[in-house]
């Protein structure tokens, strides 16, 4: 369909560039992640996200002694000096779409969730040590009509015979955006039978895309948990959901508490006037999911549901708008 061509070209170009960066690496995993509010019976707010990722996994300390990748150099100084037991370098491209509650309104009222789209490239590097794992990531992207959100949503809605969005003419203007992020997760408690654990974590990010600080915890139950605890760090950059490896599986539930400094999807454009909304900068998320791994592939599904500690109706509506389900499929290549 013609309306899909521009987005397809962006993804092909980005994947071509990624292929160049991987020319001297062992690319051994690929994943596809789909975020969509369809999974929670909605069609507004954070309405869709699609991410394709290539992984270079180093399973031994000797392999992991190489320096951090080029794109995450701005925060590489914050990583531990010791050589990690394992490491993974991930290159991802993705597109995310945000829409107001009523997508059939051609001119949404001021103060309603603005239309916006993001086309992004993210490099994530994770280093695993005994009992904890560190992450640095860099995201570069474009927001606005150049991100092709309108074309993508309308093409999908034609295929599934859904109502057509009418208000994309009011979306955020074109803008280059970036985000630098640093996180750590600790395996704070492990059951004596190794079938359950408690993960705690903290994260900080800065950029025109989003600036925030967060902390949280996750409880997991399953098998081969030690091999997969570091994968929870992939969800921060939407590279993947927490995912099982080494023929393991687990179910999980967790809470993340975040203080947001700025985020372009709600604050609007950084350097020009645009639509925006008032919102609670205390952003909290309850996540629950399940994941299973075969020998050469893994599957994960989760529901991410924001929640507020206040009774403010606008905050409660925003929580509902940004609730979504998410599915990741990864396979060895």
At the fourth CATH level, which superfamily is domain 2-332?
Answer: Outer membrane protein (2.40.128.140)
Number of H helices, E strands in the chain: 4, 12
pLDDT reported for residue 315: 65
Backbone angles phi, psi at 63, to 5 degrees: -70, -30
Cα dihedral 201, 230, 68, 52 sign = negative
Backbone angles phi, psi at 114, to 5 degrees: -75, 150
Integer CA distances (angstroms), 38 to 43, 154, 162, 327, in order = 6, 15, 11, 12
DSSP 134-195: EEEEEEEEEESGGG-HHHHHHHHHHHHTPPPP--GGGSPPPEEEEEEEEEEEEEEEE-TTSS
Q: What is the pTM of this model?
A: 0.89
How far apart are alpha carbons 157 and 155 in whole angstroms? 6
Q: Lowest mean pLDDT: which of 23-32, 200-209, 305-314?
A: 23-32
324: exposed, middle or buried (Cβ count in 10 Å: 0-12, 13-18, 19+) = buried
**How far is CA 252 from its chain centroid?**
18
Measured from the Cβ of residue 327, the count of other Cβ atoms closer than 10 Å reads 16
Cβ 253 vs Cβ 292: under 8 Å? no
DSSP 12-80: HHHHHHHHHHTTTS---EEEEEEEEGGGGT--SEEEEEEEEEEEEEE-STTGGGSPPPGGGGGGGGGS-
Residue 19 Ramachandran class (φ > 0 left, ψ -120 to 50 alpha, else beta): alpha
Reduce the DSSP state of residue 325 to 3 states and report it: strand
pLDDT reported for residue 191: 98
43 vs 189, which has greater pLDDT? 189
pLDDT reported for residue 313: 61
Beta bridge partners of 292: 249, 299
Average pLDDT on 160-183 reads 93
Q: Where are the domains of the chain?
A: 2-332
Backbone angles phi, psi at 157, to 5 degrees: -65, -30
Average pLDDT on 234-241 reads 83
pLDDT reported for residue 3: 37
pLDDT reported for residue 43: 61
């Amino acid at each position: 369909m013609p309306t899909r061509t521009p987005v397809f070209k962006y993804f092909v170009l980005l994947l071509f560039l990624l292929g160049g960066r991987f020319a001297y690496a062992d690319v051994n995993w690929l994943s596809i992640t789909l975020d969509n509010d369809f999974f929670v019976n909605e069609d507004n707010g954070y309405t869709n996200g699609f991410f394709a990722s290539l992984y270079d996994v180093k399973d031994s300390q000797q392999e992991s002694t190489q320096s951090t990748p080029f794109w995450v150099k701005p925060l590489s100084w914050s990583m531990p000096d010791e050589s990690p037991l394992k490491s993974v370098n991930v290159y991802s491209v993705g597109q995310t779409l945000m829409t107001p509650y009523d997508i059939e309104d051609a001119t949404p009222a001021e103060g309603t969730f603005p239309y916006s789209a993001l086309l992004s490239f993210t490099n994530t590097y994770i280093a695993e040590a005994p009992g904890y794992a560190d992450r640095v990531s860099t995201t570069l992207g474009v927001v606005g009509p150049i991100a092709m959100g309108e074309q993508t949503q309308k093409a999908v809605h034609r295929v599934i015979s859904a109502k057509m969005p009418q208000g994309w003419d009011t979306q955020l203007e074109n803008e280059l955006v970036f985000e630098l992020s640093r996180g750590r997760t600790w395996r704070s408690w492990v059951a004596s039978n190794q079938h359950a654990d408690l993960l705690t974590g903290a994260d900080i990010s800065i950029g025109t895309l989003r600036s925030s600080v967060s902390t949280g915890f996750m409880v997991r139950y399953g098998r081969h948990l030690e091999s997969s605890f570091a994968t929870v760090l992939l969800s921060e950059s939407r590279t993947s959901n927490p995912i099982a490896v080494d023929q393991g599986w687990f179910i999980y539930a967790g809470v993340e508490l975040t203080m947001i400094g700025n985020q372009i999807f709600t604050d609007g454009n950084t350097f020009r006037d645009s639509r925006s909304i008032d919102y609670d900068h205390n952003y909290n998320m309850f996540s629950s999911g399940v994941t299973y791994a075969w020998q050469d592939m893994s599957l994960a599904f989760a529901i991410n549901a924001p929640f507020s500690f206040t009774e403010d109706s606008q905050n409660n509506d925003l929580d509902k708008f940004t609730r979504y389900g998410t599915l990741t499929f990864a396979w060895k290549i």
